Amino acid sequence: MATKSIQLNVDGEMHTITADPDMPLLYALRDDLGLRNPRFGCGLAQCGACTVQIDGEAVRSCVTPVDSIGSGKIVTLAGLGGGNGKAHKIQEAFIEEQVPQCGYCLNGWLMTAAAFLETNPKPSDAEIREALTGLKCRCGTHYSIMRAVKRAAQA
């Protein structure tokens, strides 16, 4: 397994890691950079807990090779509101709608919803459901999540 030096732009900061080019981005974010908001869920891109944004697109980092990022800008949940503790409108809506229960899956829902609202700022209920298809929440907060996404779209 050959390693190489890889540069990553994460939440507006450049980082250099030495890693196997095929290593999942999730491992680089959690193990090399010490970030805890993209989570390991299934490891198969089926649950969404590992979701980050790369150049504004929601991406499952557990199956994205770290070397495939190139010059892409990675945004994690910590950087979603632009950093400095500022919350994104979707984060505010999740709080206002009291969505969190266990919180394990929230990273995926928030990152996916934020990317979706950038491309579709006034979605219908059907469009929201379609955009969030494939994300898992075992606590069953789906109705609260829908309300929160609609609230953020109206903000």
39 Ramachandran zone, left/alpha/beta (phi>0; psi -120 to 50): beta
What is the per-residue pLDDT for 73?
98
Cα atoms found within 13 Å of the Cα of residue 79, Cβ hemisphere only: 18
Structure tokens at 78: 């910590």
Rounded distance, CA 101 to CA 140, Å? 9
What is the per-residue pLDDT for 146?
96
What is the per-residue pLDDT for 17?
98
Extract the residue ranges of the chain whose pLDDT is less than 70: 1
The whole-model pTM stands at: 0.95
* Beta-carbon count within 10 A of 68 CB: 12
What is the per-residue pLDDT for 14?
98
Rounded distance, CA 146 to CA 4, Å? 42
Rounded distance, CA 113 to CA 138, Å? 18
What is the per-residue pLDDT for 34?
97
Domains of the chain: 4-79 (3.10.20.30), 89-154 (1.10.150.120)
- pLDDT tens by residue, 14-54: 999 999 999 999 999 999 999 999 999 999 999 999 999 99
| Nearest Cα to Cα of residue 77 among 97, 46, 48, 120 | 48
What is the per-residue pLDDT for 82?
87
Q: Give Cβ neighbours of residue 152 (< 8 Å, ≥ 6 apart).
A: 89, 90, 92, 93, 113, 117
